[in-house]
């Protein structure tokens, strides 16, 4: 019998193409994956000032634009490129923080194209 824990997630994650991005104010990131509950986003040198914010999700390939999507930070992990460089990436996990019914439908429609 194995004692290795298995990851339990409420929603299945779906990887997205490289052209799926998210933007808010001065921050711009690449969306790595999506679920009905949230997103994983890769940022370069992100300086988060808030745990909750609104952003615009854009997927050119799927012709999708979701404006003012409410997000809540769940975790941040940093990876330094080089000890001699100030540039680093952060993978940020966010959950959707009370999206509208229209936004929920847009997210479900996007996921349906990824299944």
Name the pLDDT band for 4 (thresholds 50, 70, 90). Answer: very low
Number of domains comprising the chain: 1
Mean pLDDT of 108-112: 95
Residue 66, beta-bridge partner list: 57
Mean pLDDT of 43-70: 89
Structure-model confidence comparison of residues 62 and 97, the more confident one: 97
pTM: 0.84
Range of the domain at 47: 14-113
User: Does some domain include residue 85?
Assistant: yes
User: Does some domain include residue 8?
Assistant: no
How many whole angstroms separate alpha carbon 115 and alpha carbon 15?
Answer: 10
User: Does some domain include residue 2?
Assistant: no
Mean pLDDT of 53-60: 94
User: Does some domain include residue 7?
Assistant: no
pLDDT, tens digit (0-9, with 9 covering 90-100), for 71-102: 999 999 878 777 788 888 889 999 999 999 99
Domain of 71, CATH number, reads 2.40.10.220
**Structure confidence at residue 9 (pLDDT):** 62
User: Does some domain include residue 28?
Assistant: yes
Burial class of residue 31, CB neighbours in 10 A (0-12, 13-18, 19+): buried
CA distances in angstroms from 5 to 2, 95, 98, listed in the order given: 8, 23, 30
User: Does some domain include residue 29?
Assistant: yes
pLDDT, tens digit (0-9, with 9 covering 90-100), for 9-38: 688 999 998 899 999 877 889 999 999 999
User: Does some domain include residue 70?
Assistant: yes
**Structure confidence at residue 14 (pLDDT):** 95
User: Does some domain include residue 5?
Assistant: no
Q: Decide: helix, strand or coil at residue 96.
A: strand
């Amino acid at each position: 019998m194995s004692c290795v824990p298995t990851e339990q997630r409420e929603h299945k994650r779906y990887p997205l193409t490289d052209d799926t991005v998210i933007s808010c104010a001065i921050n711009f990131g690449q969306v790595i994956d999506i679920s009905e509950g949230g997103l994983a986003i890769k940022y370069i040198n992100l300086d988060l000032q808030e745990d909750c914010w609104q952003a615009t999700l854009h997927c050119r390939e799927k012709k999708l634009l979701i404006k003012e999507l409410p997000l809540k930070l769940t975790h941040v992990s940093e990876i330094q490129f080089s000890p001699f460089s100030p540039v680093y990436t952060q993978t940020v996990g966010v959950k959707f923080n009370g999206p509208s019914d229209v936004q929920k439908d847009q997210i479900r429609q996007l996921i349906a194209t990824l299944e």
